[in-house]
């Protein structure tokens, strides 16, 4: 019998580096637990070759550990209602990715499934997977290896340390192929040594994370101190949000333009210290005197603050940090006003104006915010943000991010466009198209639409008095939201379910097999106003068209400023002879005047007249909502109303062409 090899473990940093570069790592759990080793790689880096390697050296059952939020987003529920597994391993339903695979069991097919599960762009949805399949997703427990010392949590923690988001891994239990038994430490070490792989233990990872947090806490204790606190009732936009704990912290001066004695206000709702494994909903909101105090429409700060407070209030538990010293992305109020003047007089965007003043485009730091979260006893966050730099700055704490949708107006359209162009928005706003074309990003400008469809209603945009610059900015904003939104799909034969917080309606929107939908042509006329809702509404409608088999080249899209212009655009498009049906999309939200009722009635009557006059079906996809919450329930996931509008347009186009 050969002498046992002297075992020397790698460092956590070496393992993290290997993962970030697409390599494999061997992870050992505790001797008094399973005392087994797993091969681990980041699912994002899965290839036929490295998956085949894991298959050769494992049981052949490959799992995909992921945060619960990622599993929820992909509709991966627990495999069983009552988990009696001795170690509590949280298996979900098994899956194979639908496109580009055959049986799903080969190394190549499983690699494709792993990559799809780790697709952080948002282009992959629950509908892209077949159930059951050959890959076993696992739900990691919030808090990682410090709440459950398993390979599942280790995989997610290590991916997070490697900066891989979403942190989805691939793990396979290492097995001795000759004996059929699981390899223990000695055998796992020899495998790692022979293939030059880092080998670490879960215990190492726990100590590493504890040491990191202790060092951060020691530094942070010097950076913040609680100086005052009280209870305060909060009301925003007419909605009472209940009582909150207000805690005022004194923070360090981080940027040269910060106020000398800046403070951070923590608005705390509910018990955020509860050790129940749930990530805490949180928002880090930059001070904005112009937006939050005087109601300037040049930014979306006031809308974002209101929405964040409402989200936390609805959740019943969370924190909103209001950070002084972040005015104008850290340049201070005086410089911000100077930048505003340049934006107005020199037509510079928000970043160009900062640069013209010799100032950084963004000087904000989030270390003090991290320190306050730690002081509040919060380890993991569901961060409300559209800004990837905040996620990066709070790396290690952020388990999930929650986007904010803000209304777009003619005053802030350029600002929002500039933020996106500087890559300050979430990567989900930059979805690439998939092979079926169900998540298409609009690439046209107003000019190109006019060139392609001279009879279309986009002429109304020129006649409306909206400047070309604002129209272009709004259109680009529409592109981003169209790419961002994706309503869940349904099987055409099963009908379409529309869900709101109050009711569920089933509609029999089946398309008979004999209808050749590839020959149908559909026009979409949609508003730029209320883009945060109309963008997702349009994306879902287009998904319905694609699901029914209407080719992308057969879909004509026209944008107009508001709902009042929709009848003109619909009539022009219907008269062009280029479409078999038109669907009009918009969102009207009631204000304080009779404008809502007048526009709603005029739009409905005008669209009906356009259809009757031309003989081309014109579908009414304009939502008349009393509140923004009603608009959210109908336009945003999980509502299937947007998709149903596309399916309805297909059915009416088939009726018009006598295909039904």
Question: Which residues, in sequence order, are CB contacts of 132 under 8 Å at separation 6+?
Answer: 93, 94, 95
Buried/exposed code over 436-445 (b: 16+ C-beta within 10 A; e: otherwise): bbbbbbbebe
pLDDT in tens, 410-450: 676 666 666 655 544 433 333 332 322 323 232 233 333 33
Say whether 184 is catalytic.
no
pLDDT of residue 508: 44
pLDDT of residue 502: 36
Q: Distance (Å, rounded) from C-alpha 245 to C-alpha 265?
A: 10
Query: Which fold, 434-656?
Result: Rossmann fold (3.40.50)
pLDDT of residue 416: 62
pLDDT in tens, 345-365: 777 877 788 778 887 878 788
Mean pLDDT of the chain: 80
pLDDT in tens, 521-575: 999 999 998 888 898 899 889 988 988 889 988 999 999 999 999 999 999 999 9
pLDDT of residue 248: 94
Q: Distance (Å, rounded) from C-alpha 360 to C-alpha 101?
A: 48
pLDDT of residue 34: 65
Q: How large is the average pLDDT for residues 600-628?
A: 92
Q: Within 13 Å and on the Cβ side, how many CA atoms surround 272?
A: 27
> Taking 80 as the threshold, does the pLDDT of residue 513 lie above it?
no
Helix pair angle (628-635, 531-547), 10° resolution: 20
On the 0-12 / 13-18 / 19+ scale of CB atoms within 10 A, 253 is: middle
**Distance, CA of 579 to chain centre:** 34
Say whether 364 is catalytic.
yes
**Kind and range of the H or E element at 37?**
strand 37-42
pLDDT in tens, 291-341: 888 888 888 889 899 999 999 999 999 999 999 888 888 888 888 888 888
Q: How large is the average pLDDT for residues 600-604?
A: 91
DSSP 128-182: GEEEEEEEEEEEEPTTGGGT--SHHHHHHHHHHHTT-SS--EEEEEEB-TTT-SB
Helix pair angle (413-421, 468-484), 10° resolution: 50
On the 0-12 / 13-18 / 19+ scale of CB atoms within 10 A, 268 is: buried
Q: Distance (Å, rounded) from C-alpha 37 to C-alpha 155?
A: 12
pLDDT of residue 291: 83
pLDDT in tens, 160-195: 999 888 899 999 999 998 899 999 999 999 999 999
Omega prior to 166 cis, within 30 of 0: yes
Per this entry, what is the length of the chain?
660
pLDDT of residue 660: 61
Q: Give domain 12-210's CATH architecture.
A: Alpha-Beta Complex (3.90)
Give the pairing of strands 504-507 and 555-560: unpaired
CATH homologous superfamily, domain 222-326+364-404 = GTP cyclohydrolase II (3.40.50.10990)
Active-site position among 29, 362, 434, 580: 362
Q: How confident is the model at residue 342 (pLDDT cuts 50, 70, 90)?
A: confident
Q: Distance (Å, rounded) from C-alpha 390 to C-alpha 401?
A: 10
Phi, psi at 563, each rounded to 5°? -65, -30
DSSP 413-435: HHHHHHHHHTT-S-GGGGPPP-T
pLDDT in tens, 197-234: 999 999 999 999 988 877 766 665 556 788 999 999 99
DSSP 614-653: HSS-EEEEEEEESSHHHHHHHHSTT--HHHHHHHHHHHHH
DSSP letter, residue 444: -
> Taking 80 as the threshold, does the pLDDT of residue 576 lie above it?
yes
Closest CA to 287 of 318, 235, 248, 327: 327
489-503, 608-622, 635-649: least confident range: 489-503
Tell me the longest C-alpha to C-alpha distance in the chain. 93
Instruction: Output the CA torsion sign for 157, 161, 167, 171.
Output: negative
Active-site position among 141, 148, 283, 364: 364
Q: Distance (Å, rounded) from C-alpha 126 to C-alpha 117?
A: 9
In this structure, are residues 36 and 173 in contact, taking their beta carbons and an 8 Å threshold?
yes
Same fold? 222-326+364-404, 434-656: yes
Share of the chain above pLDDT 70, in %: 79
Q: How confident is the model at residue 104 (pLDDT cuts 50, 70, 90)?
A: very high
Share of the chain above pLDDT 90, in %: 43
Domain parsing of the chain, residue ranges? 12-210, 222-326+364-404, 434-656
As a three-state string, the secondary structure of 275-300 is CCCCCEEEEEEECCHHHHHCCCCCCC
Q: Distance (Å, rounded) from C-alpha 349 to C-alpha 412?
A: 11
> Taking 60 as the threshold, does the pLDDT of residue 462 lie above it?
no
> Taking 80 as the threshold, does the pLDDT of residue 599 lie above it?
yes
């Amino acid at each position: 019998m050969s002498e046992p090899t002297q075992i020397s473990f790698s460092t956590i940093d070496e393992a993290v580096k290997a993962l970030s570069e697409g390599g494999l790592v061997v992870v050992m759990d505790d001797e008094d637990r399973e005392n087994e080793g797993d091969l681990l790689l980041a699912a994002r880096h899965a290839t036929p070759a490295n998956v085949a390697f894991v298959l050769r050296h494992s049981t052949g059952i490959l799992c995909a550990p992921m945060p619960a939020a990622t599993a929820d987003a992909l509709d991966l529920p627990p495999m069983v209602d009552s988990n009696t597994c001795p170690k509590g391993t949280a298996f979900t339903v098994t899956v194979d990715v639908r496109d580009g695979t055959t049986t799903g069991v080969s190394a190549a097919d499983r690699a494709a499934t792993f990559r799809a599960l780790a697709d952080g762009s948002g282009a992959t949805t629950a509908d892209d997977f077949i159930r059951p399949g050959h890959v076993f997703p696992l739900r990691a427990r919030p808090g990682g290896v410090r709440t459950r010392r398993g390979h599942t949590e280790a995989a997610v923690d290590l991916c997070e340390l490697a900066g891989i988001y979403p942190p989805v891994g691939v793990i396979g239990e290492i097995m001795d192929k000759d004996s059929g038994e699981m390899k223990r430490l000695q055998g796992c070490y020899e495998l790692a040594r022979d293939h030059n792989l880092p080998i670490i233990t879960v215990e190492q990872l726990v100590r590493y994370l504890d040491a990191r947090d202790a060092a951060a806490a020691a530094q942070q204790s010097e950076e913040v101190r609680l100086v005052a606190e009280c209870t305060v009732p909060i009301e925003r936009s007419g909605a009472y949000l209940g009582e909150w704990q207000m805690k005022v912290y004194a923070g360090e001066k981080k940027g040269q333009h910060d106020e000398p004695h800046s403070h951070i206000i923590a608005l705390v709702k509910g018990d955020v210290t509860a050790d129940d494994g749930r990530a805490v909903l949180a928002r880090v909101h930059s001070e904005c005197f112009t937006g939050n105090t005087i109601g300037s429409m040049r930014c979306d700060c006031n809308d974002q603050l209101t929405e964040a407070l409402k989200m936390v209030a609805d959740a019943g538990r969370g924190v909103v940090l209001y950070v002084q010293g972040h005015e104008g992305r850290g340049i201070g109020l005086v410089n911000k006003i100077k930048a505003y003047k340049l934006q107005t007089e020199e037509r510079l965007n928000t970043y160009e104006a900062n640069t013209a003043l010799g100032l950084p485009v963004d000087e904000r730091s989030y270390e003090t915010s991290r320190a306050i979260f730690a002081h509040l006893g919060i380890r993991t966050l569901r961060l409300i943000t559209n800004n990837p730099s905040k996620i990066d700055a709070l790396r290690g704490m952020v388990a999930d991010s929650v986007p904010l949708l803000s209304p777009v107006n003619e005053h802030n359209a350029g600002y929002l466009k500039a933020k996106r162009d500087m890559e300050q928005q979430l990567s989900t706003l930059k979805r690439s198209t998939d092979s079926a074309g169900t998540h298409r990003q609009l690439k046209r400008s107003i000019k190109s639409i006019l060139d392609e469809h001279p009879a279309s209603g986009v002429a109304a945009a020129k006649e409306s008095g909206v400047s070309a610059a604002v129209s272009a900015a709004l259109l680009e904003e529409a592109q981003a939201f169209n790419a961002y939104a994706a309503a869940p799909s349904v099987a055409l034969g099963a009908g379409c379910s529309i869900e709101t917080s109050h009711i569920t309606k089933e509609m029999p929107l089946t398309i008979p097999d004999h209808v050749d939908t590839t020959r149908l042509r559909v026009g979409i006329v949609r508003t730029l106003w209320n883009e945060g809702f109309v963008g997702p509404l349009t994306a879902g409608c287009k998904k319905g068209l694609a699901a029914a088999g209407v080719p992308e080249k057969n879909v004509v899209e026209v944008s107009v400023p508001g709902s009042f212009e929709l009848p003109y655009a619909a009539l022009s498009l219907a008269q062009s002879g280029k479409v078999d049906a038109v669907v009009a999309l918009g969102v009207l939200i009631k204000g304080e005047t009779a404008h809502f009722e007048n526009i709603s009635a005029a739009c409905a009557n005008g669209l009906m007249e356009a259809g009757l006059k031309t003989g081309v079906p014109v579908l009414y996809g304009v939502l008349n909502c009393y509140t923004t919450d009603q608009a959210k329930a109908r336009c945003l996931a999980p509502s299937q109303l947007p998709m149903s509008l596309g399916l309805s347009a297909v059915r009416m186009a088939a009726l018009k062409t006598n295909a039904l």
